[in-house]
Amino acid sequence: MSIRHKKLPIEALERIDDLCADFERNWQQDQPISIESVLQVDLPEPEHDVLLAELIALDIDYRQRRGDPPNQQEYLERFPDHGLVIEDLFSDQDKPTAPFQAPSIATLSEHFPQLEIIELLGAGGMGAVYKARQTGLDRLVALKILPQEFAHDVKFALRFTREARTLAKLNHPNIVSVYECGKAGETYYFLMEFVDGPTLRQIVGQQQLSPQHALTIVPHLCDALQFAHNEGIIHRDIKPENILMTREGSIKIADFGLSRILGNDSQPTALTATHQVMGTPRYMAPEQMTGAGSVDHRADIYSLGVVFYEMLTGELPIGRFEVPSQKVHVDVRLDDIVLRTLEAEPQRRYQHASQIKSDVLSLTSTADPNLAPTEALAPSQTLGASMANPSAVAAESHVSVMQQQELAGRLLLTRRELMQRVKQALRPLFYGQLLQILIGIATIALGAQCWASNTQIPHRLTCGLIVHVYGVLLIIIAANVLVRIKRIDDSKPIEDVRHRVDDVKNFYLRFGSIIGFPWWLMWIPFAVTMGFDVVLHPNSLYPGLIVGAIGLLCCFWLYRKVHQAPSSNVNQDKARSFRDAFAGKSLAKAYLAISEIEQAKIL
């Protein structure tokens, strides 16, 4: 029987895990021990075979990182009685190279009958992520599947089994929980906590993150990393795509240890909770880039420093980069914190993530008038108490800062969601203007066709020119509204956003509405351009002109009422309500979302 199919009790697996962890720890400390020394422990034969397989798999991995790839014959000579185990490990060196194709929902549902697969969230070269519902528990989950090629890799099977059990023990509020992991058919999978929120990449990309918000996020990341490092787990792929923000404003790190499971520390790949993005070396520590075998938890600290710098400045610390305080208005003391996380030599960096958190909290809970302002407590709040109990004041200050940070995180999400509502509210108006441009193009073509072919017929020439010019006006006005909508930058302060929406509204009311008024009379030239000259008969023309003139006068009366200056505060409120109604539901909904942001005092 293949080693991959052996079933062992949990107690046996835990004993094997402990022995493998010690073996791997020695490799990480550049003090490797022999497989034979570990096998001296007294274990039943089934456990012994599985332990040997896992030790050889680890030995192969670490030797390959050192540029010393082993061969099958070497292990056969060292362990002649376990030829089948060794052959099993070396039997699948060549993996399929066909690109991964995410299976359909129907296909996946056959392998996971306990789940209701809802939709594919993201896919890439190293797997796919689906949104699903656990029908028994009635909760949403993220189903993460890996390519089937791994099903034929014995070393991966051993590594997955060992590492996945460890990941399942990571129970922390800032880490995406792993509910279940295993193999269904030929597919390895993780069943994980579903996070309904944006990634840090999306927030940074939309320029919605201020330096103050960055200071609210970093301590939570430090908590998650410190907890994982204490459990002996290194992430190896910290980057904005793997950092998620829930709708409640909390921060969660996804894909802990996935690059280790995939066996590709030097070229990490990751499956995020909502979008899969291939790993990038821009966030990797120098020792990861060189493929050094001594990569430890300090590689995560370096990656956190890159993320921290990007959150503060919007840029990556590449080459000879400027310190954060030279690019944005932040406390200069942040420079030392960020630069220390970005030290090329691991021993010169922060040695623990908790140290970064402590320094950030100390910075945000103290004020120096000679430095750029950060979140700080007023001196009067702490001076008297500090005389009596400095440690209590420090603890209270840290609690207060953390509360401020959590509030800021929630406000950031609230602002983002409300800004999305502003965009969604303006979308019908935007598409309406696109439709108006298409109508304008068709109108120009209709008018040009009429006047160009009837230059000798005065009434058809005149009507064609009128329709042609009207089409040009349709396009000009719609294009101006579109440009003003596109100028709305939701990353700017709310006053700027309101000003931009006001600009859209004022132009739309002043010019957009006028374009509809002539339709009381425009039907006459349009009918002529389409060949219905009968509308020019007096019995048809004169009644039409009378009705059109009355309608046109009523429209211009309404237009004047909308734009006239109010004579009192009461009239001003009525005029504003009248203008809002005249502008349409799209702009009204946009203003409602802006008002909610202002009422919540979210800048």
Please check whether residue 116 lies inside any domain of the structure.
Answer: yes
Read off the pLDDT of residues 92-103 as tens digits, 9 standing for 90 and up: 544 555 566 788
- 108 in the same domain as 23: no
User: What pLDDT was estimated at residue 389?
Assistant: 47
Residue 278 has pLDDT above 60, yes or no: no
Please check whether residue 303 lies inside any domain of the structure.
Answer: yes
Residues 6+ apart with CB under 8 A from 537: none
Pairing of strands 270-271, 187-193: unpaired
- 73 in the same domain as 104: no
C-beta neighbour count of 346 within 10 angstroms: 20
- Catalytic residue check, 503: no
- 595 in the same domain as 548: yes
598-602 long-range contacts (CB < 8 A, ≥24 apart) are: 598/494, 598/498, 600/411, 600/414, 602/411, 602/414, 602/415, 602/418, 602/494
Read off the pLDDT of residues 169-225 as tens digits, 9 standing for 90 and up: 788 989 988 888 888 877 888 888 898 888 888 888 776 678 888 888 899 999 999
- Let me know: does 329 contact 318? Beta carbons within 8 Å: no
- CATH code at position 307: 1.10.510.10
- 105 in the same domain as 55: no
- 581 in the same domain as 440: yes
Total domains in the chain come to 3
Total residue count of the chain as it appears in this document: 603
Please check whether residue 583 lies inside any domain of the structure.
Answer: yes
- 213 in the same domain as 306: yes
Pairing of strands 178-184, 187-193: antiparallel
Domain final residue, candidates 38, 63, 90: 90
Higher pLDDT among residues 382 and 338, named by residue: 338
Residue 379 has pLDDT above 50, yes or no: no
User: What pLDDT was estimated at residue 563?
Assistant: 59
Read off the pLDDT of residues 490-523 as tens digits, 9 standing for 90 and up: 667 777 888 888 888 888 877 766 677 777 777 7
Please check whether residue 498 lies inside any domain of the structure.
Answer: yes
Read off the pLDDT of residues 342-371 as tens digits, 9 standing for 90 and up: 998 999 999 999 999 999 988 877 655 444
Residue 264 has pLDDT above 70, yes or no: no
Q: What is the DSSP string of 494-507?
A: HHHHHHHHHHHHHH
- Let me know: does 468 contact 444? Beta carbons within 8 Å: yes
Q: Is 96 helix (H, G, I), strand (E, B) or coil?
A: coil
Please check whether residue 399 lies inside any domain of the structure.
Answer: no
Read off the pLDDT of residues 9-47 as tens digits, 9 standing for 90 and up: 767 777 777 788 788 778 767 788 888 888 888 778 777
Read off the pLDDT of residues 308-349 as tens digits, 9 standing for 90 and up: 999 998 888 987 889 999 988 888 889 999 999 999 899 999
Q: What is the DSSP string of 237-252?
A: --SGGGEEE-TTS-EE
Residues 6+ apart with CB under 8 A from 173: 250, 252
Higher pLDDT among residues 295 and 192, named by residue: 192
Please check whether residue 392 lies inside any domain of the structure.
Answer: no
Name the least confident of 140-144, 368-372, 453-457, 571-575. Answer: 368-372
Residue 388 has pLDDT above 50, yes or no: no
Q: Tell me 316's DSSP state.
A: -
Which residue, among 376, 360, 380, has the nearest Cα to 368 in the 3D structure?
376
Residues contributing to the annotated binding site for ATP: 144
Q: Is 312 helix (H, G, I), strand (E, B) or coil?
A: helix
Sign of CA dihedral 386, 387, 388, 389: positive
Q: Which of 88, 237, 265, 490 is catalytic?
A: 237
Domain final residue, candidates 55, 90, 125: 90
What are the Cα distances from residue 584, in Å, to 69, 91, 152, 433, 490? 70, 69, 61, 13, 21
Residues 6+ apart with CB under 8 A from 601: none
Q: Take residue 318 and report the two structure tokens written for it.
A: 């590449």
Mean pLDDT for the stretch of residues 557-584 = 59
Q: Which domain holds residue 448?
A: 420-599
- 138 in the same domain as 45: no
- 186 in the same domain as 166: yes
User: What pLDDT was estimated at residue 330?
Assistant: 86
- 496 in the same domain as 429: yes
Residues 6+ apart with CB under 8 A from 493: 603
Please check whether residue 405 lies inside any domain of the structure.
Answer: no
Read off the pLDDT of residues 54-73 as tens digits, 9 standing for 90 and up: 888 888 877 776 777 777 88
Measured torsion, CA atoms of residues 441, 446, 449, 452, in degrees rounded to the nearest 10: -90
Residues contributing to the annotated binding site: 144
User: What pLDDT was estimated at residue 416?
Assistant: 63
> How much of the chain, in percent, has pLDDT values that exceed 90?
12
Domain final residue, candidates 320, 349, 376: 376
- 108 in the same domain as 86: no
Alpha carbon 596 to chain centroid distance?
24
- 196 in the same domain as 281: yes
> How much of the chain, in percent, has pLDDT values that exceed 70?
72
- Let me know: does 422 contact 381? Beta carbons within 8 Å: no
Please check whether residue 394 lies inside any domain of the structure.
Answer: no
Name the least confident of 160-169, 286-295, 386-395, 543-552. Answer: 386-395
3-state secondary structure 354-410: HHHHHHHHHHHCCCCCCCCCCCCCCHHHHHHHHHHCHHHHHHHHHHHHHHHHHHHHH
Mean residue pLDDT across the chain: 76
User: What pLDDT was estimated at residue 487?
Assistant: 85
Residues 6+ apart with CB under 8 A from 421: 589, 590, 593
**Dihedrals φ, ψ of 305, to 5°?**
-60, -40
d(CA 474, CA 468): 10
Helix axes 10-28, 45-65, angle to 10 degrees: 30
- 247 in the same domain as 331: yes
CA neighbours closer than 13 Å in the CB half-sphere of residue 157: 21
User: What pLDDT was estimated at residue 594?
Assistant: 77
Residue 245 has pLDDT above 80, yes or no: yes
Q: What is the DSSP string of 558-581?
A: HHHHHHSPPSSHHHHHHHHHHHHH
